[in-house]
Structure 1
Amino acid sequence: MSATGDTLVLRTQRLELHFFTDSDRDAALMLAVLNDPDFIHHVRDSGVRELEQARAAARTGPMAFRQANGLGLCRVTETATGRDLGQLGIVTREGLPAPDLGYGFLPAARGQGYAVEAGRAVVDYARDTLKLPRLLAIVSPTNAPSLAVLGKLGFRFETMTRLPGGEKDLQLLTLALNKDT
């Protein structure tokens, strides 16, 4: 993973992860993910409905996370086709005691192992480069596909939680990144 401007961050066998920018491409992906019915149902309805709103959401979300602490969501792209698949990365959230793995993939990209592949690369980076002791993840208890992805990455249930200002109870999962945690 490298943080050289807004270029490639991580590469896997099939994927490239790039930090979000305020480009039209990244705003369009943000808009598509935030308006996916499954994302709205399981995560939240952000109310973002236009490209400029999505661009602003990228600035105040993934780009702000990166500026504040070097972490953030990345655009996940299929290397062979250049097709944007979704977003995945490490974020910090109010109400959580450690950084967490967040993601959202477009419907056409689900069920093909992309989330697990990108997730493994980011987990390895968090452990080996960032030296984080653990990562968290939050997920709706009814989101079976997301729970399966997190299980394949090694996350384990810790407790139920609700984020500040949140309306839903969520499962809080944890992944120890070194043997001391």
Structure 2
Amino acid sequence: MSPVIETDRLILSPVAEGDYADLCALLADPGFFRHIFPQALNAEEAWFRLLRDVGHWQVMGYGNWAIRTQGDGRYIGSVGLLSYRRIVDPAFDAPEIGWGLSPAFQGKGMAFEAAAAAIAWAEQHLKADRLVCMISPDNTPSLALAGRLGFKPYAETTYKGDAVILLERAGT
């Protein structure tokens, strides 16, 4: 069974079909995708991402959570523990964490709250020696968040032709 996690302000639930319309809107928002994709993802690409995320829980026993606000249930983004088998050098040898919030909710501590909850879940359930993440060097807010979460850079490389910084957090 895929876990639902509640924090003071947020509900994290495994990505599900009902998240599709919200995911389409988020992936089309330039303020969201500018550090992740070269252009907005269309509805078909959003559907494939949703299917990937649903299947990830089935295969790996962990994956992406949709983040919604407590009370009104507004969709604000996602956070997840991932094993995407990315072609990156050096290769990831630990679960990856990723997060992304709608620009309307950035800078309010919600990404930290969601990612900290996902890390706490990983510490209890994955028993991994470390977590990794990959962030564009231009994405200073995510780099700062990663630092607040205890991640430290260990490599600079490229992913799909773009520069990225690989970070790690020990002790999960």
- Give the Cα separation in 1 of the matches to 2:63 and 2:39: 18
- Give the Cα separation in 1 of the matches to 2:169 and 2:158: 19
Give TM-score, length-normalised by structure 2: 0.89
Give TM-score, length-normalised by structure 1: 0.85
Runs of 4+ in 1 over 4 A off after TM superposition: none
Q: Identity of counterpart residues, as a percentage?
A: 32
Of 159, 172, 175 in structure 1, the residue corresponding to residue 169 of structure 2 is 175
Say yes or no: does 1:58 pair with 2:13. no
CA contact (8 A) 1:10 1:121 kept: yes
- Give the Cα separation in 2 of the matches to 1:161 and 1:127: 27
- Please give the root-mean-square deviation of Cα atoms over the aligned residues, in Å: 1.7
What residue number does 1:67 align with? 58
- Give the Cα separation in 1 of the matches to 2:40 and 2:111: 25
Say yes or no: does 1:34 pair with 2:27. yes
Which secondary structure does the structure 1 equivalent of 2:4 belong to? strand
- Give the Cα separation in 2 of the matches to 1:45 and 1:139: 14
User: CA deviation digits over 1:37-71, x for unaligned, max 9?
Assistant: 13432111475322x54233200x21121111012
What residue number does 2:79 align with? 88
Which secondary structure does the structure 2 equivalent of 1:169 belong to? strand
Of 4, 17, 32 in structure 2, the residue corresponding to residue 9 of structure 1 is 4
After superposing the two structures, state which structure 1 stretch, 114-123 or 63-72, moved more. Answer: 63-72
Say yes or no: does 1:147 pair with 2:143. yes
Map 1:83-122; keep pairs closer than 5 Å: 83-94=74-85, 95=87, 96-122=92-118
- Give the Cα separation in 2 of the matches to 1:36 and 1:87: 14
> In the comparison of the two structures, how many residue pairs are matched?
167
The residue identity in structure 1 corresponding to 2:48 is A
Structure 1: gaps of 5 or more residues? none
- Give the Cα separation in 1 of the matches to 2:40 and 2:59: 24
CA contact (8 A) 2:153 2:167 kept: yes
Which secondary structure does the structure 2 equivalent of 1:112 belong to? coil
CA contact (8 A) 1:156 1:174 kept: yes
- Give the Cα separation in 2 of the matches to 1:155 and 1:101: 11
Deviation at 1:154, TM superposition (A): 0.6
- Give the Cα separation in 2 of the matches to 1:99 and 1:33: 24
Structure 2: gaps of 5 or more residues? none
Distance 1:68 1:38, change over 3 A: same
- Give the Cα separation in 1 of the matches to 2:169 and 2:22: 28
Which secondary structure does the structure 2 equivalent of 1:162 belong to? strand
